[in-house]
Amino acid sequence: MARRSQGIIITDKYQMRTWARSMRHNSIALVPTMGFLHDGHLSLIQEAHNHAQLVVVSIYVNPSQFAPSEDLSTYPSDFDADIRKLMTVPGGVDVIFHPHNLYDYGVESAMDCAGMANVSCLEESGSGHETWVRVERLEKGMCGRSRPVFFRGVATVVAKLFNIVDPDVALFGKKDYQQWRIIDRMVRDLDFPVKIVGFEIVRDADGLAMSSRNVRLSPIERQKALSINRSL
């Protein structure tokens, strides 16, 4: 199938699944993102073309991986700019999957999690979602210590994306090393028919790993952040 330089935007998970099924004679690579794309994302997306015939990029800020005390409501986003950036990727992308809400089941919930420890923004909102994927040992250390619901939310949303897009391969940045290892373990343990590819860290000229949240760093904080890379 010929590559399109700009893909179609799908916002409905049922349409996404229908598209994926209609393309089943091609291999599909999925690159899950939360948007506010930078060159690290774009390199990862370009790499996806080396692993499959079709490339799907998801842009979704996943509420289940944010605790109520975290920055869900202020997480940076600029969908129009993301589209423009995606159009610069050599080979383009075939689908931009941009669901508005992956947890809207039209269910009324009596859940009230306000003030409870170890709940996500999703539970606090009482969406009615109550099934979680946990990679029990790997989620506990490193970032998991300070963010107790983070990896549970990541593993769950990635499992949902795999069920919706049914990719042959999915790519994750080693910048989020623990996340990459957790997804790899989830795929092995739950027999998802998906190959997980880890991609090298893309850095700015000063050595800082590119990240959507870097826009929030003051010059002093940026210098402090650089000490992590330098000490490594």
Catalytic residue annotation: 41
Residue from 19, 150, 172, 192 touching ligand AMP (CB under 6 A): that is 172
Cα separation, 201 vs 208, whole angstroms: 10
**Which one-letter amino acid corresponds to residue 182?**
I
Nearer to ligand AMP, 19 or 66 (CB): 66
Burial class (CB in 10 A: 0-12, 13-18, 19+), 127: buried
Q: By CB under 6 A, what part of segment 74-133 binds ligand AMP?
A: none
Nearer to ligand AMP, 175 or 222 (CB): 175
Residue from 47, 70, 168, 176 touching ligand AMP (CB under 6 A): that is 176
In the block, tokens 């606090």 appear at 124
Nearer to ligand AMP, 34 or 133 (CB): 34
Residue 34 binds ligand AMP (CB under 6 A): yes
**Cβ-based neighbours of 61, under 8 Å, separated by 6 or more:** 34, 35, 72, 75, 77
Residue from 44, 54, 122, 135 touching ligand AMP (CB under 6 A): that is 44
Residue 131 Rama label (left phi>0; alpha psi -120 to 50; beta) = beta
Minimum gap (Å) between residue 47 Cβ and ligand AMP:
9
Note whether 165 and 21 are within 8 A (CB). Answer: no
95-103, 123-131, 185-193, 206-214 -> range binding ligand AMP (CB under 6 A): 206-214
Nearer to ligand AMP, 58 or 127 (CB): 58
Nearer to ligand AMP, 20 or 157 (CB): 157
Q: Which residue is nearest to ligand AMP (CB)?
A: 173
Which of 176, 29, 39, 34 lies closest to 99, judged by CA? 34
Note whether 103 and 16 are within 8 A (CB). Answer: no
Residue 58 binds ligand AMP (CB under 6 A): no
* 13-22 helix and 150-165 helix, angle to the nearest 10 degrees: 50
Q: By CB under 6 A, what part of segment 181-200 binds ligand AMP?
A: 199
- The binding site for ligand AMP (CB under 6 A) comprises 33-34, 40-41, 44, 172-173, 175-176, 199, 201-202, 209-212
